Structure 1
Amino acid sequence: MTRVAIVTGGSRGIGRAAAERLAADGTAVVIVYAGNKTAADEAVEKITSAGGQAVAAQADVGDETAVAAAFDLAEETFGGVDVVVSSAGIMPLATVADMDLADFDRIMRTNARGTFVVSQQAARRVRDGGAIINVSSSVVGLRFPQYGAYAMSKGGVEALTLILARELRGRDITVNTVAPGPTATELFLDGKDEATVANLAKQAPLERIGEPGDIAEIVSFLAGPARWINGQTIRANGGII
């Protein structure tokens, strides 16, 4: 039986790398995207042209009806859901004093509520033996200035992970979080000059920033063979923390 994955934020960045890696592993993939249909269609085309199976579904992850419809599509197209990767996220930055509360609410809707809504559907619908993989951020531990709202949203994701793992007792479903450090994605690089990126690269003992493929490798591991890792947050950052 072919395993089936839903990947939110799957049209770009870490989500896209994860979708492509899971497809290369032989998993059928539903790529959930917020608004960039062109990028999502390109991701589907890349996977299918390489012999994999993929479809795209548009959904605001904070909208429970739209998320449920993406799960419906997975079940109707591929027969069920085995793996869920919650990679959708936004990252407006500002100090606590200066953060626009409308931006704060958007961050919480996508990163915190969105992960919860996706997790709720996953808890109801992932088949026994499956895997739920959330995406947090190493900034929860690094605590850089201006990342207050973002780190707050991701800290909630990490708290949810072990709780959900315990609630799914008896179903052989693992629930884990990957917390990337600085990674070369559009989300991370936006607004940062070369000097800033170079300085961040020097902080890790491996002396580089991460690539989306580095994180996708861990998603692949958690989605497949890593059956004894459960309720954990894996900080994938080259040793920066």
Structure 2
Amino acid sequence: MSGSNSSVPAAPADEGLALTVHSLPDPQAMATQQRTRRGRLSMLLVVLACAAPVIASYFTFYVVKPQGRAYGELIQPTVELPALTLSDLDGRPVPAESLKGQWLLTLVQEEGCAAACERHLYTQRQLREMLGKERDKLDKLLLLPEDAPALRPELRQALSQGTPVTVLRAPRAALEAWLQPAAGGRLQDHFFLIDPMGRWMLRAPAAPEPAKLKRDLDRVLRAAASWDQPGR
């Protein structure tokens, strides 16, 4: 069209095109972050895989409670194994961690292990034998305060026969802070059940009926059957 200017008007000289350049992510840093996330996720999955059977067994025992109520007193929450300073009867140090890996039917005795103590030790042996094929999942443990009298040589010899009783000494204060009797009772009145992680989980009544206490042991071992294996 005559008299018209069809060309695009030029931009003013001082209005140049402005470009903003954003920094690009560092590929090496991104790869490191991804490896870190994958590593954490893998570790979490491993922990969950290891803990799941234990959690399931505790859920079965404490919540589902197959075959009725426990005869003994369930300890809720369980009490963790403290850093006990242990030694054997010859005075050699024994790591507290060595108690882990097995169910422990535990007695705490003193006064040189008199007649009542010997009856408890006999019951302890019978309870383990009554478990039949499951008995290898349970160890017998006798804890003595450091200041308790020494065991008689003939008793010490008897405890080493067959499947031996593990006999260890520990500071009295540490024992009393970990395992506790029922109200008005004494430590030596009870059997204590320790799980393979070193946690105190059950206290039997004083002078327990072996058949009833065995049912508790049966239930615990049955609940843990999916992950617990004989021996440490």
Report if TM-score (shorter chain) is over 0.5: no
- Structure ranking higher in helix proportion: 1
1 or 2 for the larger relative contact order (CA 8 Å, sep ≥6)? 2
| TM-score, structure 2 as length reference | 0.30
| TM-score, structure 1 as length reference | 0.30
